[in-house]
Amino acid sequence: MSRTPAVRNTPRAGTYLPGSGPIIVGILNVTPDSFSDGGDFLDPEAAAEHAVAMLDEGAGILDLGGESTRPGSDPISPEEEIRRVAPVLEGILARRPDAVISIDTYRAGTATAALQAGVRLVNDVTALRGDPGMASVVEEAACPVILMHMQGEPKTMQKEPHYDDVVHEVRDFLAQRAEYAAAAGIRPENIIVDPGIGFGKNLEHNLALLRNLDAIVNLGFPVLVGASRKRFIGSITGVQEAKERIFGTVATTVLAYEKGATLFRVHDVRANREALTVAESVLHASRR
């Protein structure tokens, strides 16, 4: 990855957690076509400043992505993905050298370059299926990896998704992918799982997963939930504009936290951080 800082050491097993308690993962899409914020942060300087603002609002991790995975989206070239994220990563680390950054990619080459430049986690929406080299990249870096469930691929995933039992099927998939990751040498304490809310799921599938999230938590890995601003929230509330689905997103965050989720991937950091602070005080008073 060109135009990036010198190579930094990635954390060893388990050291990605910035403190105890729930962790806000701030979304930073440097894409023209993401469903909610596409085009907002194409300028690297604006993107880096937004990243700093999210850190100041309470994000523990920043999730940087250069390719949209919204329903119906088309893939881009690896070169374009790197071109988009490289200057933004450089700008963030110039401002906040200790920032914990995740790279949202399924490509081994992009992940390698980003890790060398200072990224500390890999967020793979294909759960190590999209690139046969990704598992070895994560294993060699000894960094945490987020394994997400997705039925199909972004281009077609919302065309009549079907499950016989969505909770059990997603749970079994994540268990199998975690087993695959461990067999590839990735340390179990570096595995995070994500049920993939909105990725090849309809409204009822999403609600069932959130309602029964403890089944995913019981796998024994930290669970990330990414429901922020998604269409199913609009279907419930009638809020059509994605950027206005803040209150519905906060509800999913608090409910998922009560069910045992650890990480929450969101656009609106402050609102979700404040809600989690109250929820944590209610549920875990001893941490105050």
- Which residues are part of the catalytic machinery? 230, 265
- The closest alpha carbon to 60, from 278, 288, 273, belongs to 273
How far apart CA 29 and CA 31 sit, in angstroms, is 5
Measuring CA to CA, which residue among 85, 48, 29, 94 is closest to residue 226?
A: 29
Q: Give the separation between CA 240 and CA 256, rounded to whole angstroms.
A: 23
Q: Where does 118-245 have alpha helices with state H?
A: 134-141, 166-183, 203-211, 214-217, 231-237
- The whole-angstrom separation of Cα 147 and Cα 194 is 6
> Can you say how many angstroms the Cα of residue 168 is from the centroid of all Cα atoms in its chain?
22
- Among the listed residues 85, 31, 98, 112, the one whose alpha carbon sits nearest the alpha carbon of residue 59: 98
